Amino acid sequence: MASTAASPAFCAIPKKSISPATARASLGVPATRFLARTPLRRLVFVSDTLFFHHIATKLRSFGSSNAGPTRAVATMAKKSVGDLTAADLKGKKVFVRVDLNVPLDDNQNITDDTRIRAAIPTIKHLIGNGAKVILSSHLGRPKGVTPKYSLAPLVPRLSELLGIQVVKADDCIGPEVEKLVASLPEGGVLLLENVRFYKEEEKNEPEFAKKLASLADLYVNDAFGTAHRAHASTEGVTKFLKPSVAGLLLQKELDYLVGAVSSPKRPFAAIVGGSKVSSKIGVIESLLEKCDILLLGGGMIFTFYKAQGLSVGSSLVEEDKLDLATSLLEKAKAKGVSLLLPSDVVIADKFAPDANSKVVPSSAIPDGWMGLDIGPDSVKTFSDALETTKTVIWNGPMGVFEFDKFAVGTEAIANKLAELSPKGVTTIIGGGDSVAAVEKVGVANVMSHISTGGGASLELLEGKELPGVLALDEATPVAVVWQNVVQKGDLVIDATCGKGYDTLALLRLVADDTGKGRVFAMDLQKDALEHTSSLLDQSVTADEVLNTELTQLDCADLYLINVCTRLSEFGFVAAQRKLVELYAMCHTKMEEIVPDGATARLVAFNLGYLPGSDKKIKTEAETTLRALEAATKILAPGGLISVVAYVGHDGGRMEFQKVQCFAAELPTDKWTCCKLQMLNKPLAPVIVLLSKRSVVDNFHQQPKN
């Protein structure tokens, strides 16, 4: 049942009464911003995503008696192309902004096709669902029409990777382009000419954006590298095309650079390098709010040394940033962050690959010498510090790694992360020179994630909002709550899998590189299981899975989806694992499917009937209450039960009232129970959240203050 946005009311469910008159004791909400992994569930109502974040932060703060203040993070929780079904895409013209800004040599040959390969999963997903794909990209910084910046040299490689012939347009707007779009078959791909040949692109002129938008029915942004720019093809077109959603690459970038950093597995370490403090101020300040360990390297360390009164010889120093360096050291100490500077450095008598070099303590750099790399003792100290971590993000080299003599420190860090990644440590390479470093060492494929963005990665790590992401459609509110609770590797239960959107969203929240994440999804209707299986087949991309297979075991009521992952350019560790289990059984039996000794981090209910099916077949109050009782027994401390109750259909309001009574009777010393409902839309769905308190959170440490 559809409804429009209305004023939501968030209330703690009272213990003794469920009267609306007494149930609206509102919790105050701070003015926070929120950065989320991309949730995918498509509910049939709209609400304020930020409001749900406030709920989630309140639940986390109330959920533990020793919880400190929750940390606000900047963000965007957006819809993804994974939300769109085959019916949404088949025969539709889809404008896809990709980042094909690849380097070309003097003969117009591609020297690095990483960004082209990164764009392939989204394009294949779209053509596989019968969409007519219109690709838009920039190349270089042209001043008007410049032949050497034409996208024509990219067509052969793009066609090869897609396995189809890509059609190239000579322009990006105009009658000839419109004719090519009109002749595009289902599953066909048209590459527009360099969008920056028009100055209106970077000026984000509405008329130009409108002309681009007129070519298509919907919009997908998969160009993370330009998401920090408000250009016509990244931001302007969203005003004229709906839906406007994130592509698989953009979604993955947000998953890692946002999700894993804002809610990391701990201990969480950040490695920041580069030549200047000034270029990394925002990143360092932001990471000090989130990490447990901060390792600094590169040319910036000499500004910190001089701020401490040490001699730095002729090393690079930003004199106007000495006070800032001192304040950052003090801030780290106040925050309880272990900030490590190199204890020794490799110095040189000149800035050149053939310079004379030697290793000295960081406190003994002689005049006339400059530091160009971290020393062997520092490499060991840094490696030891990383040994116990669960999440590591790296941005910036440790030295002048372009010179082999001064690349040892950077290569050592790359090899250390390559050693940790197969052990289950989430390793994220945050764009820029760090990417070049891991590729040079040959360990890029081992990392959990390598960002394709340069400036966009930095701005995201700084906590800034990206215009190209902000412009996209908002994600489902209840999924925003989930992402505050669920982490990679968790076990979660979709108690009513329906058409599979919740199952898919949960899969993307819990699946990690070691195969520890699990989603158990349940439904009595065969149609629901088939819908869910089909959605997973369509939406889990080639870089994430090799194949999915639906098998029915001897037990008639058990279905399994086996998902295999392969080593890909995105760095997933080759492993075969079972990520999703689909059970054709009543959700009252969920205790039977959870392994002995295991607990669930989240149990999600979506009550009512299956959309598009027999409305007489729906969840019933009696079995829902029994299922909720079972959920309370298998839920982990700090876990969450979420219930979306549809009150507009026959029996729906009574079922909701029963759920509300159940929640109201839970002991307040063990549970925090809240609901969200629209005061001026009485038939809108109501969300009930039951958070299990814990003195010590067995899953995640509390956020840093």
Contacts for 348 with CB less than 8 Å, ≥ 6 apart: 355, 356, 357, 369, 370, 372, 405, 406
C-alpha to C-alpha distance for 471 and 236, rounded to whole angstroms? 8
Which run of H or of E encompasses 372? strand 370-374
Known active-site residue 115: yes
Question: 645-664 as b/e, with b when 16 or more CB fall inside 10 Å?
Answer: bbbeeebbbebbebbbebbb
> How many CA atoms are closer than 13 Å to the CA of 199, on its beta-carbon side?
2
C-alpha to C-alpha distance for 443 and 118, rounded to whole angstroms? 17
Known active-site residue 430: no
> Which among 346, 394, 337 is positioned nearest to 369, based on CA atoms?
346
The separation between CA 465 and the C-alpha centre of its own chain, rounded to angstroms, equals 14
C-alpha to C-alpha distance for 187 and 128, rounded to whole angstroms? 7
φ and ψ at residue 370, rounded to 5 degrees: -130, 145
- DSSP state, 141? -
C-alpha to C-alpha distance for 294 and 335, rounded to whole angstroms? 12
> Catalytic one among 24, 71, 276, 350?
276
C-alpha to C-alpha distance for 130 and 490, rounded to whole angstroms? 34
C-alpha to C-alpha distance for 302 and 673, rounded to whole angstroms? 52
C-alpha to C-alpha distance for 326 and 309, rounded to whole angstroms? 11
Beta bridge partners of 135: 96, 191
C-alpha to C-alpha distance for 581 and 554, rounded to whole angstroms? 15
Which run of H or of E encompasses 671? strand 671-678
Helix %, strand %, coil % for the chain, to 5?
Answer: 35, 20, 45
> Catalytic one among 115, 266, 280, 601?
115
Q: CA dist 154 to 68, 117, 452, 502, 655, Å?
A: 52, 11, 18, 38, 57
C-alpha to C-alpha distance for 53 and 263, rounded to whole angstroms? 13
On whether the CB atoms of residues 9 and 677 are closer than 8 A, the answer is yes
413 burial (CB, 10 Å; 0-12 / 13-18 / 19+) is buried
> Catalytic one among 432, 489, 608, 638?
432
Q: For the beta carbon of residue 405, count every other beta carbon within 10 angstroms.
A: 17
C-alpha to C-alpha distance for 336 and 358, rounded to whole angstroms? 34
In sequence order, what E strands does 156-240 have?
167-168, 189-191, 218-221
Known active-site residue 489: no
Known active-site residue 239: no
> Catalytic one among 130, 282, 455, 651?
455
Residues with a catalytic annotation lie at 115, 276, 432, 455
